[in-house]
Structure 1
């Protein structure tokens, strides 16, 4: 936490004219935080604190003599004013509309001022940004009036929720400023989230999931592969050039390789590792019968039909004569699949490609309906679509900042909130979404730090509901579906990564499972209000230390490696990516082989299976006892760094040893 210098008191004998009140951003009678000068007559029925300030002849506040303010602060808009009610000065920035009781620090603003990047100074918080120079839950400096933000429940008339008892949570660290540097970038032109649209999107995705199951069952006689739909959404967004945050709409190839591969793996029947010899024998028999049936009904080349039928008949003969053991059945099944699967795949190719094409076209139609409805709703508030985002005038280096939404948000519907045990329940139009109270307050802190257009928290509950609805739509409807999309590293690993390797940024996270306040996530529209920097493949840092734990989607992991190598090639400033991916070697994934052969690899280590943990993918709704679980597979940790990054955060033996210790489950230490 940056030290905040207390402003010197101004002589109370200064001439003071009668002035208008300044409305505080809080509504509690004890609020002491100044805000933008305002000429609005206060409502006597509202509990609003009034600060008297000196005004000029035109009725607008006049700054006090500012000779004691540094020239740097004057140039960026800071002026000193006098509060007659509190009998002390405060500081107001006429450019950013920020206000402070303390004198702003002479630091560089990472969202507007690039000058600090070229110097040798370490990254600093915003200039005079109270949100970043203080703990995320306000703790007033000694001798200054206490500031208490109005709770969002009070805004909407809900029962006043109790402020969380923890100022510093052991489950995340929002006090750490970023060391990630980017060039200024254009804002996001997506329409702001709306609960009505999120309900519509959830219904559309549910229909699409059902149709996928029907297509697989009617055309191929199988159930839709588990998690296949979720990985399809991820794989499509890697190549999608459209604007819908969830549905794919503009892909050059309509056939998804991820969906095609997973359906083919279950044709002609789904195979699972059997437990007993009897199960292995039944599975071998089922595969042989299904392969023969498919090749008879689908045709294929004469040579392929001949090979499949000959191997199937040989298998039937072997089963009648042999009284085999477990390993014999598995070996025979593997042999039969090697011989038959290429010809079965060729026979089913056209049908499976048709499923993939049908799913893509349906997604495009649904996305268009959602977009039309969304903009129709916004036009009722005179909010029109922006075709091209405004580009930055100057290409300046800045510390990374959350995605800026350029389309304004309309007045949002009210979401009802209630509390039940240790959960908050948010209800909109009969649909109730749950979130653990600790994570509800976590989102409140992120919102307070990152949101730019809602200082009174008027939209907080509605945006939390929209956020939860979006991620629940992505997760799916089956128990534990989507679990692998949200898994996170344990807290001890994050603490070690920050302390030892200077990591301050997560490349794959969400507002629900992030550890730092700097992170990339899948949905810039719903997540930006809670600090998201947008999707990682559209994020271009030039320096900083990053952690990457991608969802288990092969196409996404391959694109991640390409993206990181491109960034490391272009940047000469310190840049480091510490990547955690599953150690899948049977067969090895393309991403794993690419990482191990990368020219930027400085070191790799393996966390053995059952000797390290992951944090639950649904940590925002699961119980505390289920928060961590042991990994059933090994995890490969690869350090990708350019030369400058290696000099600053290189994986020395001592540093790697600390990382390995931090990854061990607590009971094993």
Structure 2
């Protein structure tokens, strides 16, 4: 891994005459205009001069990034205001989430579906929700992959005025193909995979009846359908209903511009007839090259493969029937989201200055470093009790868990910040939990950014690094060989709390981090499946055999390797994140990396396109090709059309690909920072498509050998949740 250690600097705000300050790297350090006031940290365009980074005022500076592209991130907001900003953001995103549910319910009613009947047709798992499960969370993540500036780091809003252009010059938001596909796949109803195959078969047949009903209700739209789109799904439905007492397929004249058929028209009179006998397909039925019709015994049940096949064949018809209505919902959602983001930005501009909130200045950089270094050197730390109040955040300790709660009154703040209140916003969370050992790991990245010893480390930084050796984070080995270390997580937490210049800053940073990731998962933690992590022993194999030392899709909570990219760099940079994988300025030219992105079709396709672009550019470089390698852990969605899998399988850079079968491996829970130890291991709900992409130099540097493949498969299959260090804590 070719990277330089990231570092953190506590400093002051950028002075007005900063452009005149001499610097060896640049004349000045402008803040990137692509981000609004709603961001906590923003990337500076140039290196921060030493005179500025060492000043003592309201500003915080983090420097992070891969290799030679390390850049500073600057926060001019008082750190005590971070929790309030994140709660306002959560309040707004809950409102957007609630209004999305309302839009989906209106959509269901507009297409004439009986909502109460839908719950009986295999959609009972919605529990009163009408939006596709996790579709909103996927949309939030997919929108972060759009390479455009956003008003808000969480709420989708890629319409930002350019500061260097005319006022009316606005970047227009592209429509979200991801959420449109999620909604379309739920129409006319979601096919629920039942507990038994017979139940699954019944749900498929109910879907078929609803689809046929929609085709009959929209003769003009149906008449425009191509026979190549209609015939496969009709033939498939006929095979499914073979032996049913009440066939429901409409006339085959659909899509052929013929007269509308009455509801009494018979399937056998209108569609090409199947051959006599059970489960035989019609040889004259038009099918695409890759199409496969699955035989179904009418006296048995159906499998989830039948569900996938039904959805795949029905998609062209469903898109034609509902495309305009779904597009209208998406446009309304995007407008609601932009309005919410603008309200958050307005709040950040008007109500978070240190003068208005009474926030004290940040501590001096060098003084802070020396202070907490000396504090850690003390062998005995007097416990400060079960709870400590740092400004508006109360830090409480349980047996194995730490709690952070916002204790200030929010009513007046929200009245000023938010114009509209929705019932869904009543679920606002002000208190968050995190395991003690996870908090210790966060502190280690917060203090050291997980780097190794650098050439220019100060005495205090070396001192802190010794105190935070990995062996003393959660193993409780006590004092060793005359050295001083914390004896356990509890002692470490007491030491952090005892440093008055660092404890409040760390508490605010952790609360902001917990609140932000809670927002993207929903008030009921719906999005935990989108953050599942690759097991540690698999990453160990990748690190040992292919020298992988960076996760391209991780978070401060689930990162395992030394370096990582994450979805929220404006808050994650405090914990060592390199930034977003989809940042236009982020580019990898050398090294070995791992990618386990959120399982969203559109996002994964964009990721693969970007990886292939970097590999292609590495070979076209005039300086010669540098070794570049990517290990990918993706869902095996080969049972349907998949853009990202097509791109991978056709790529000349594909060096290895295999599918880890469903039921033969597990992932780490997306909520591993607070879930119970028994829930840490999450069985994979589908196969994992593992692939290795490399350029020629990467293949020479890190060859995929038989030994590596054997070790990799053993690591995937042998993962045990209780092998993870620190789980007992």
Where on the TM-score scale, by shorter chain, does this alignment land: which range? 0.5 to 0.7
Contact 1:284 1:329 (8 Å CA) reproduced: no
Give the 3 Å change call, closer, same or farther, for CA 337–421 of structure 1 in structure 2: closer
Q: Following TM superposition, by how much is the alpha carbon of 1:204 offset from its aligned partner in structure 2, in angstroms?
A: 1.1
In structure 1, the residue corresponding to 2:344 is in which secondary structure? helix
Runs of 5+ in structure 1 lacking a partner? Answer: 1-34, 37-75, 77-111, 114-177, 384-411
> Does residue 428 in structure 1 map to residue 473 in structure 2?
no
> Does residue 601 in structure 1 map to residue 684 in structure 2?
no
In structure 1, the residue corresponding to 2:504 is in which secondary structure? coil
Q: Which residue does 1:279 correspond to in 2? A: 199
Q: Which residue does 1:540 correspond to in 2? A: 587
1:131-530 → structure 2 map (5 Å cutoff): 181-185=67-71, 187=73, 194-221=82-109, 223-239=130-146, 240-250=148-158, 252-276=172-196, 279-280=199-200, 282-284=202-204, 286-295=206-215, 300-301=220-221, 303=223, 319-320=244-245, 324-327=298-301, 342-379=316-353, 381=355, 413-429=391-407, 431-450=430-449, 456-479=502-525, 481-530=526-575
Q: Following TM superposition, by how much is the alpha carbon of 1:563 offset from its aligned partner in structure 2, in angstroms?
A: 1.5
Structure 2 CA distance, aligned partners of 1:281 and 1:603?
A: 37
Q: Following TM superposition, by how much is the alpha carbon of 1:420 offset from its aligned partner in structure 2, in angstroms?
A: 1.5
Deviates more, 1:268-277 or 1:539-548: 268-277
Runs of 5+ in structure 2 lacking a partner? Answer: 1-8, 11-23, 25-45, 48-63, 110-114, 116-129, 160-171, 248-296, 358-389, 409-429, 451-460, 462-499, 619-624, 724-729
Structure 2 CA distance, aligned partners of 1:321 and 1:296?
A: 17
Cα deviation, 1:334-372, whole Å, max 9, x if unaligned, reads 998788664443232211111100011111111011011
Q: Following TM superposition, by how much is the alpha carbon of 1:621 offset from its aligned partner in structure 2, in angstroms?
A: 0.6
Structure 1 CA distance, aligned partners of 2:678 and 2:657?
A: 32
Q: Following TM superposition, by how much is the alpha carbon of 1:475 offset from its aligned partner in structure 2, in angstroms?
A: 0.7
Q: Following TM superposition, by how much is the alpha carbon of 1:461 offset from its aligned partner in structure 2, in angstroms?
A: 0.5
Structure 2 CA distance, aligned partners of 1:509 and 1:656?
A: 24
> Does residue 616 in structure 1 map to residue 669 in structure 2?
yes
Contact 2:681 2:720 (8 Å CA) reproduced: no
Structure 1 CA distance, aligned partners of 2:548 and 2:519?
A: 31
1:506-655 → structure 2 map (5 Å cutoff): 506-538=551-583, 539-571=586-618, 572-655=625-708
TM-score, scaled to structure 2? 0.58
Q: Following TM superposition, by how much is the alpha carbon of 1:486 offset from its aligned partner in structure 2, in angstroms?
A: 1.3
Q: Following TM superposition, by how much is the alpha carbon of 1:285 offset from its aligned partner in structure 2, in angstroms?
A: 5.1
Q: Following TM superposition, by how much is the alpha carbon of 1:441 offset from its aligned partner in structure 2, in angstroms?
A: 1.1
Structure 1 CA distance, aligned partners of 2:580 and 2:191?
A: 35
Contact 2:196 2:301 (8 Å CA) reproduced: no
Higher helix content, 1 or 2: 2
Structure 2 CA distance, aligned partners of 1:375 and 1:489?
A: 39
Cα deviation, 1:531-559, whole Å, max 9, x if unaligned, reads 11111122222222211111101111111
Q: Following TM superposition, by how much is the alpha carbon of 1:611 offset from its aligned partner in structure 2, in angstroms?
A: 2.2
Structure 2 CA distance, aligned partners of 1:259 and 1:360?
A: 11
Give the 3 Å change call, closer, same or farther, for CA 231–190 of structure 1 in structure 2: farther
Deviates more, 1:548-557 or 1:591-600: 591-600
Cα deviation, 1:131-162, whole Å, max 9, x if unaligned, reads xxxxxxxxxxxxxxxxxxxxxxxxxxxxxxxx
Structure 1 CA distance, aligned partners of 2:73 and 2:99?
A: 36
In structure 1, the residue corresponding to 2:590 is in which secondary structure? strand
In structure 2, the residue corresponding to 1:418 is in which secondary structure? strand
Q: Following TM superposition, by how much is the alpha carbon of 1:329 offset from its aligned partner in structure 2, in angstroms?
A: 11
Structure 1 CA distance, aligned partners of 2:134 and 2:559?
A: 23
Q: Following TM superposition, by how much is the alpha carbon of 1:593 offset from its aligned partner in structure 2, in angstroms?
A: 2.0
Give the 3 Å change call, closer, same or farther, for CA 658–332 of structure 1 in structure 2: closer
**Which fold has the larger relative contact order, with Cα–Cα distance below 8 Å and residues 6 or more apart in sequence?**
2
Give the 3 Å change call, closer, same or farther, for CA 185–280 of structure 1 in structure 2: closer
In structure 2, the residue corresponding to 1:319 is in which secondary structure? coil
Structure 2 CA distance, aligned partners of 1:328 and 1:207?
A: 39
| CA RMSD across the alignment | 4.0
Q: Following TM superposition, by how much is the alpha carbon of 1:501 offset from its aligned partner in structure 2, in angstroms?
A: 1.3
Q: Which residue does 2:264 correspond to in 1? A: none
Contact 1:506 1:518 (8 Å CA) reproduced: yes
Q: How many residues of Structure 1 are paired with residues of Structure 2 in the alignment?
A: 469
Structure 2 CA distance, aligned partners of 1:560 and 1:634?
A: 20
Give the 3 Å change call, closer, same or farther, for CA 188–267 of structure 1 in structure 2: farther
Cα deviation, 1:556-587, whole Å, max 9, x if unaligned, reads 11111122122222332222211111121111
Give the 3 Å change call, closer, same or farther, for CA 455–225 of structure 1 in structure 2: same
In structure 1, the residue corresponding to 2:602 is in which secondary structure? helix
Contact 1:225 1:263 (8 Å CA) reproduced: yes
Give the 3 Å change call, closer, same or farther, for CA 187–320 of structure 1 in structure 2: same
TM-score, scaled to structure 1? 0.63
Give the 3 Å change call, closer, same or farther, for CA 643–456 of structure 1 in structure 2: same
Q: Which residue does 2:275 correspond to in 1? A: none
Contact 2:243 2:298 (8 Å CA) reproduced: no
